Structure 1
Amino acid sequence: MWDNIVMSWKEIQYKKITWIDINSPTPKDMQKLGRDFGFHPLSLEDVLYTQRSKVDAYDGKYYFLILMLPVFDARKNIITATDVNMFIGKDFFITIHNNNIPPIRKMFADAHKNSAWRKVHMSGQRPTHLVYEYIETMLRYFFPMLETTNTNLEKLETDIFSGPKINVIHTILEQRRIIIDLRKIIKPYESTLSHLHAYDKTHHILGISKTFEYFDNLLDYVAEAWDSLEEYKESSEMLQQANDAIISKKTGHIIQRLTTISVTFLPIALIAAVFGMNAEYTPFIGYPFDFWIIISIMLAIVIATIIFFKIQDWID
C-alpha cells in the first residue's frame, strides 16, 4: 500500500483510488509523472515554476489545480506562501508540495495507517471525497493563524490605550503585513474552486454536482476566512489611526509645554540683557535692594504671562 518510489514520493492504493503525495518534487519526479499518467508538459512545468492559484482542465481527462497555503516564519515574524499542486483524475489524486506541511503530513499518515479513514474517503468510484477532505484540511490550516492574528490585535488595543505608544508602531505594521499576506493567499480560493466546479459540470471527472453541498461548504470556509481578514484589516487600520492620534496629541502637548517655557522666559532674558548693559543711568541700579527689585519684576512678568496663557486657554 505504501510505495516509496523515491524519497519524496509516497503512494496509497485503496480499491479504485490511487493517492500519490510528492514532497519537494524534482524534475525527475515530473518526468515520471509525465510518463506514467501522460500529463501535459505545461502542467508539469507549472508544478516546478508557478506560484499562484489556478485550475485547468486537460482534454476532459484530469484537472490541474494549484492552491496556496500560508507558512509562518517565526524568526522573521512574516507569512510566506507555498503552493500545493493537485492532479485530479477519475481514479487518482496526486498532491505535490514543497514544504512538509503538518496537517497535510498528518492527513496522509492517517490515510496510510487507518483503514476506517480510507473506507470513508477513498471508497467511492471517484476521489471526490478525498479531494474535498484535502482542500478542507488546507482551509482549516488558515484558522489558527487567524485566531493568533485576532489575539495579537486585541493585545495591541490594550497596549495602545494603556501605555507608551511609539514602541507599538512596529508591531502594528507587522500585523498589518501579516493580514495583507493572508488576504492575498485566501482571495483566489473562491474563484479557483468556482472554476473547478464549472469545469466539472462539463467534464464530470469528480461529479461535484452530485455532492455540491460538500464543495459549497468549502466556499463557506473561504467566506468565513475572508470576512475575518476584512474585520482584522479594518481593526488594524483603526488601531494605527488611534495610535497616530495619541502620539500626535502627546507630541502636541510636549511642543506646547516647550513653547510656553520659551515664551515665558523670553521677557526675563530681555530684562537680564537690558540690566546687564552697564549703562550709567540704568534704572534701579545702585538703589537699595536693586537685585530683588529686578527679580520681582521678572517674576511679575512670568506670572502675568502664565495668567494670560490660562485666560486664552493655551495651556492646561
Structure 2
Amino acid sequence: MLRIYYKKEKRLAKESDISLLRTIPLGDMVWVDLQNSTVEEKVTIETYFDIKYSSVEESTEIESSSRFYELDDELIINSNFLSLKQNDFDYCPVSIILEKGILFTYRDDDLKAFGESVKKIKSNPGSFTNGYQILLTLLETGIEQDADIIEALAKDIADLNKKLTLNRTRSDEEILLKIASFQNHNILMRENIIDKQRLVSSLMKSSLFPEEYMNVLRIMIKDIGSLIEHNKFAFERLEYLQDTFMGLVNIEQNRIIKIFTVATVAFMPPTLIASIYGMNFRIIPELGWDYGYLFAIVLMVLSSVITLIFFKKKNWL
C-alpha cells in the first residue's frame, strides 16, 4: 500500500496511485509511506527519489550506528513501533528516511501509531508542511501509545495482585504464567521505550534536524524518562508479586507437610502398640484375656488423642 502526502493549496492532499507520482511536484512532497508494499512500489519509490530503504536485517540490528546515521543531506533511521495483535503486541521495525524535508517510511504492519498520526494530520492538515513535523507526530503518537499500554499493564498487574492476595480463584500455574506474561510485556515495553529515547537523543544531536523543533524533542525526552520510571515501577511490582506468590505457595506446601507430619506422629503410638501385640512370642499375658482386644483398641485411641492434645498445647496445630 502506498500513501503520498503532498502540499496542495496550503493543505495536505493524499495520493495512492503510484502512476501519478511524477505529476506531483517534488517540492510539494511531504510524506511517502509504504505499508506491506509490492516490490514494484518499493523499487519505484527508491529509484524516483534516489533513496534506499533499510532491509529487515538492517532494521532489526541493535548497534547505534545501524539505528541512526547521517549522510550529506539525509537522515537514515531504523526504529521499532509496537504492533498490536488482539490482547498482545510485538515489535514492527520501521525504516525511516528524512531527505530535504521529505519523510519516507517503510513498514510491514498496519501500526496504530501511524493510523492515529494520519487522523491528526486530517484534522489539521494546514499545520503539516514538511516531513520533520510528520516524524515528530509519529514519535509523539508512539510515545502516547506506549503510555497507554504501560497504564493498562499496571492496571492488569494491580488486578492480579488483588486476586492473589484477597481471593485466590485461579490456579497456581495460571497465576505464574500470567506473571511471566506481564514480565515479558514489560521487557518489550522497556526495549521499545529505550529505542525511542535513543532515537530522540540522536535527533537532538543531529545537524540536519531543524533547530526550531528542538523544544518538542526536549519535551519528548522528559515524557520518555517518565515512561521509563513507570516501567521500572512495574518491574518492581512484578518482582514483589512473584515473591508474594511464591511465599503463599510455600505456606500452603508447609501447611500440607505439617498435616502429614502430625498425622504420621499421631499414629506412631498406635502403630507401636499394634506392633507389640503382633509379636510372635508364645507367652503374652493379654492373649488369654477376654478384654485384651478391646484394651488394645482403647489404648491405641488414647495414645493418638494424648499426642494430638500435646501438639495442640504446644501450638503445633
Q: Number of matched residues?
A: 296
Residue 232 (structure 2) aligned to one of 227, 230, 233? 230
2: CA distance between counterparts of 1:89 and 1:182? Answer: 30
2: CA distance between counterparts of 1:13 and 1:98? Answer: 27
SS at match of 1:99: coil
2: CA distance between counterparts of 1:48 and 1:264? Answer: 68
Q: Deviations over 1:6-30 (max 9, x none)?
A: 59x9x99897452111101444344
SS at match of 2:80: strand
Residue 50 (structure 1) aligned to one of 54, 59, 62? 59
Which residue identity is paired with 2:258? Answer: Q
1: CA distance between counterparts of 2:25 and 2:301? Answer: 95
Matched, 1:179 2:183: no
Conservation of the 8 A alpha-carbon contact between 1:52 and 1:67: no
**Change over 3 Å in CA distance of 1:27–1:279 after alignment to 2:** same
Residue 199 (structure 1) aligned to one of 179, 203, 206? 206
2: CA distance between counterparts of 1:98 and 1:13? Answer: 27
For 1:1-316, what aligned pairs fall within 5 Å after superposition? 1-6=13-18, 16-39=28-51, 41=52, 44-46=53-55, 49-52=58-61, 54-59=67-72, 61-74=73-86, 78-108=88-118, 111=121, 113-114=122-123, 117-122=124-129, 126-164=130-168, 166=172, 167-200=174-207, 205-207=208-210, 209-277=211-279, 279-313=281-315, 315-316=316-317
SS at match of 1:135: helix
Which residue identity is paired with 1:68? Answer: N
1:152: Cα distance to partner? Answer: 0.9
1:312: Cα distance to partner? Answer: 4.7
Which residue identity is paired with 1:153? Answer: I
Q: Could you tell me the TM-score, scaled by structure 2's length?
A: 0.83
SS at match of 1:285: helix
1:245: Cα distance to partner? Answer: 0.3
Structure 1 gap segments, 5+ residues each: none
Structure 2 gap segments, 5+ residues each: 1-12
Which residue identity is paired with 2:162? Answer: T
1:247: Cα distance to partner? Answer: 0.6
Q: Deviations over 1:77-111 (max 9, x none)?
A: 54311012221123311122211113412433553
Q: Deviations over 1:188-222 (max 9, x none)?
A: 2212221122122xxxx331x33321111111221
2: CA distance between counterparts of 1:12 and 1:247? Answer: 67
Which residue identity is paired with 1:206? Answer: F
**Which residue of the partner structure matches residue 7 of structure 2?**
none
2: CA distance between counterparts of 1:80 and 1:15? Answer: 36
**Change over 3 Å in CA distance of 1:48–1:23 after alignment to 2:** farther
**Change over 3 Å in CA distance of 1:128–1:49 after alignment to 2:** closer
**Change over 3 Å in CA distance of 1:14–1:267 after alignment to 2:** farther
The structure whose RCO (Cα within 8 Å, separation 6+) is larger is 1
2: CA distance between counterparts of 1:250 and 1:170? Answer: 19
1:258: Cα distance to partner? Answer: 0.5
**Change over 3 Å in CA distance of 1:210–1:18 after alignment to 2:** closer
SS at match of 1:214: helix
**Change over 3 Å in CA distance of 1:52–1:142 after alignment to 2:** farther
Q: Could you tell me the TM-score, scaled by structure 1's length?
A: 0.83
2: CA distance between counterparts of 1:290 and 1:103? Answer: 87
